[in-house]
């Protein structure tokens, strides 16, 4: 069934993943006349509820800190087995009186209360969303919910910020519990033919360290499994560049593909009225990122064989020269049935396309990333690009690259020409009542009937300059103990994206 197992690590990743799962839930159809474009078995696991009814729940493991789950309970309505209020001492060896102290439960949001009551949902607001669970539409299996009580969300006394803190927490928990065996293996073992694992995590805080060590364990256990990492980032300040550099270098060694993502640092003029985004709201920012992430991975769960592709095959298309496992994400959008805008990177359409929104982190825009690329003047070169277009009109012609044969791709690879592939689906991106009204039409009105989206995942020379810029920053911030190792690893990564490097060229900058 080509299942994908998801790992969600931390508050920001769970905001992103909640939008993702809400979209997946919306693809279910409930009458014989309705046919879904989506193979639900890829992301959903069948089960039996406490009352014997059949259920479908996400194939995911959700990690967050103490206090990070909001009103979400580990045991939900589908698995609500009454345990009673037996006193604690009934099963205790202590014979004396015990006093149980409980924190006041977090009240469900108005949106959750509406869903629970079966009423027309009250649309969430940016001011009213406190936790990612406030706009969640799905039930999770109890095994999916893993709270890490060692740290508390938002704590100023013991903040979960430094990369080493996350690394140490994973090592401690794994030594005590064997995390992979306890949390993830049950989901993997019930899959018939797993196509891969996707990890959603932040790169620039302690979750980056936690995810890096988790990924290392996964690679030890499942050496040939395709593993994608969606790496979120915040602003460029404090210890964050060092955290990010450590995450990138560690994940680069283990992941099949790493896609760092952040809010676009700038937008084309037309989007300044077409996008109404509150950058201070995690609900808003995660919604924009999720629209891109969910659309970019759409081919991995389509029923249409002509446009379906596994994560592994998409990885092979992007990693054309062997060690280019860090990719860039872009997106354009229009109203359902419209055509998202794009422009050609070079003179030949097969040189690649540039879309409206570039989700590369803003701190990667050093001089090496734009003005002068890897010692070569002019624009960056794309090695490979995977495009996913959805929700467009029916009159779109099939792209030439989708008909390109293996021999032609091999020739282009040998001549170091861009290799591209576009996947298409009539399924528009769903704009649900749990989703903020951030997308606008030409009149400034909120789009409601779905979204036409084109996304791009690409590898190219641009990343070399970005890595060099990060290396230059990090070497000024990190201590002597780690400086040489981290600097060398970033330099080696940058070389893999330097045009002509692997073919023996000695032109370009020497850092």
Question: Are 340 and 453 contacting, i.e. CB atoms less than 8 angstroms apart?
Answer: yes
- Are both 320 and 219 inside the same structural domain? no
Q: Which residues contact 420 (CB under 8 A, 6 or more apart)?
A: 350, 352, 353, 382, 384, 385, 386, 387, 401
- For residues 430-434, average pLDDT: 97
- Are both 141 and 235 inside the same structural domain? yes
Position 72 confidence tier, pLDDT thresholds 50, 70, 90:
very high
**What confidence score (pLDDT) does residue 84 get?**
41
- Are both 249 and 344 inside the same structural domain? no
DSSP assignment letter at 270: T
DSSP E strands in 36-91: the ranges are 44-48, 54-58, 60-66
d(Cα 206, Cα 172) in Å, to the nearest integer? Answer: 14
Q: Where a domain ends, among 446, 466, 486?
A: 466
pLDDT tens for residues 76-133? 666 665 444 444 444 445 556 666 666 678 999 999 999 999 999 989 999 999 999 9
Say which residue, 237 or 467, is predicted with more confidence.
467
- Are both 48 and 190 inside the same structural domain? yes
- Here the tokens at position 22 are 């809400």
* Residue 444 within any structural domain of the chain: yes
- Are both 224 and 333 inside the same structural domain? no
* Residue 425 within any structural domain of the chain: yes
Closest CA to 499 of 392, 375, 378: 375
**What confidence score (pLDDT) does residue 91 get?**
43
Question: What total number of domains does the chain contain?
Answer: 2
What is this structure's pTM? 0.89
- For residues 432-436, average pLDDT: 97
- Are both 245 and 293 inside the same structural domain? no
Residue 170 host element (H or E): helix 163-177
d(Cα 33, Cα 232) in Å, to the nearest integer? Answer: 40
Which long-range CB contacts under 8 A does 405-412 form with residues at least 24 apart? 412/350
Helices and strands of the chain, counted as H and E runs: 13, 17
Q: Among 113-127, 198-212, 344-358, 468-482, which stretch is predicted with the lowest mean pLDDT?
A: 344-358
pLDDT tens for residues 484-511? 999 999 999 999 998 654 444 444 444 4
- Are both 282 and 403 inside the same structural domain? yes
* Residue 346 within any structural domain of the chain: yes
- Are both 319 and 385 inside the same structural domain? yes
Say which residue, 368 or 205, is predicted with more confidence.
205
**What confidence score (pLDDT) does residue 177 get?**
94
Cα–Cα distances in angstroms (integers) from residue 147 to residues 23, 77, 373, in the given order: 24, 19, 44
Domain membership of residue 330 as a residue range: 268-466
Q: Where a domain ends, among 227, 255, 283?
A: 255
Sheet holding 382-390, edge to edge: 357-358, 328-335, 451-460, 382-390, 419-425
Q: Which residues contact 50 (CB under 8 A, 6 or more apart)?
A: 78, 79, 80, 81
**What confidence score (pLDDT) does residue 99 get?**
63
- Are both 216 and 290 inside the same structural domain? no
Q: Among 10-24, 57-71, 266-280, 415-429, which stretch is predicted with the lowest mean pLDDT?
A: 415-429
CATH number at residue 67: 3.40.50.1440
pLDDT of 370 > 60? The answer is no
């Amino acid at each position: 069934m080509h299942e994908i197992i998801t790992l969600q690590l931390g508050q920001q990743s769970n905001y992103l993943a909640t939008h993702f799962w809400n979209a997946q839930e919306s693809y279910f159809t409930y009458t014989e006349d309705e046919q879904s474009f989506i193979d639900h078995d890829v992301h959903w696991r069948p089960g039996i509820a406490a009352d014997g009814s059949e259920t479908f729940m996400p194939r995911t493991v959700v990690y967050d800190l103490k206090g990070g789950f909001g009103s979400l309970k580990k045991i939900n309505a589908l698995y609500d087995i009454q345990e009673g209020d037996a006193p604690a001492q009934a099963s205790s060896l202590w014979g004396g009186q015990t006093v149980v102290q409980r924190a006041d439960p977090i009240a469900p949001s108005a949106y959750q209360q509406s869903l629970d009551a079966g009423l027309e949902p009250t649309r969430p607001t940016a001011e009213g969303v406190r936790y990612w669970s406030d706009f969640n539409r799905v039930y999770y299996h109890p095994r999916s919910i893993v709270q890490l009580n060692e740290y508390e969300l938002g704590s100023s006394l013991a903040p979960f910020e430094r990369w080493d803190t996350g690394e140490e927490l994973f090592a401690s928990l794994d030594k005590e519990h064997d995390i992979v065996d306890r949390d993830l293996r049950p989901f993997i073992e019930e899959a018939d033919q797993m196509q891969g694992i996707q990890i959603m995590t932040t790169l620039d805080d302690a979750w980056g360290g936690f995810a890096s060590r988790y990924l290392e364990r996964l690679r030890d256990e499942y050496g040939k499994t395709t593993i994608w990492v969606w790496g979120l980032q915040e602003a460029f300040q404090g210890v964050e560049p060092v955290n990010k550099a450590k995450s990138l270098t560690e994940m680069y060694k283990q992941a099949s593909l790493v896609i760092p993502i952040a809010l676009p640092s700038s937008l084309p003029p037309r989007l300044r009225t077409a996008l109404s985004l509150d950058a201070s709201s995690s609900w808003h920012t995660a919604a924009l990122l999720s629209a891109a992430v969910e659309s970019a991975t759409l081919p991995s769960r389509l029923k249409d064989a002509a446009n379906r592709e596994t994560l592994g095959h998409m990885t092979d298309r992007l990693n054309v020269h062997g060690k280019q496992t860090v990719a860039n994400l872009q997106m354009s959008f229009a109203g359902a049935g419209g055509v998202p805008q794009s422009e050609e990177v070079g003179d030949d359409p097969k040189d690649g396309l540039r879309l409206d929104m570039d989700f590369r982190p803003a701190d990667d825009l050093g001089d090496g990333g734009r003005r002068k690329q890897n010692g070569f003047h002019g624009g960056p070169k794309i090695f490979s690009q995977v495009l996913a277009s959805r929700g467009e009109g029916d009159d779109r012609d099939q792209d030439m690259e989708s008909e390109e044969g293996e021999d032609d791709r091999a020739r282009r690879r040998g001549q170091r020409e861009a290799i591209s592939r576009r996947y298409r689906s009539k399924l528009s991106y769903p704009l649900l009542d749990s989703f903020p009204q951030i997308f606008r039409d030409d009149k400034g009105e909120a789009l409601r009937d779905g979204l036409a989206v084109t996304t791009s995942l690409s590898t190219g020379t641009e990343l070399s300059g970005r890595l060099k810029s990060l290396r230059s920053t990090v070497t000024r911030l990190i201590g002597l103990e780690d400086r040489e190792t981290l600097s060398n690893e970033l330099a080696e990564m940058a070389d893999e994206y330097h045009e002509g490097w692997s073919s023996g060229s000695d032109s370009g900058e020497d850092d």
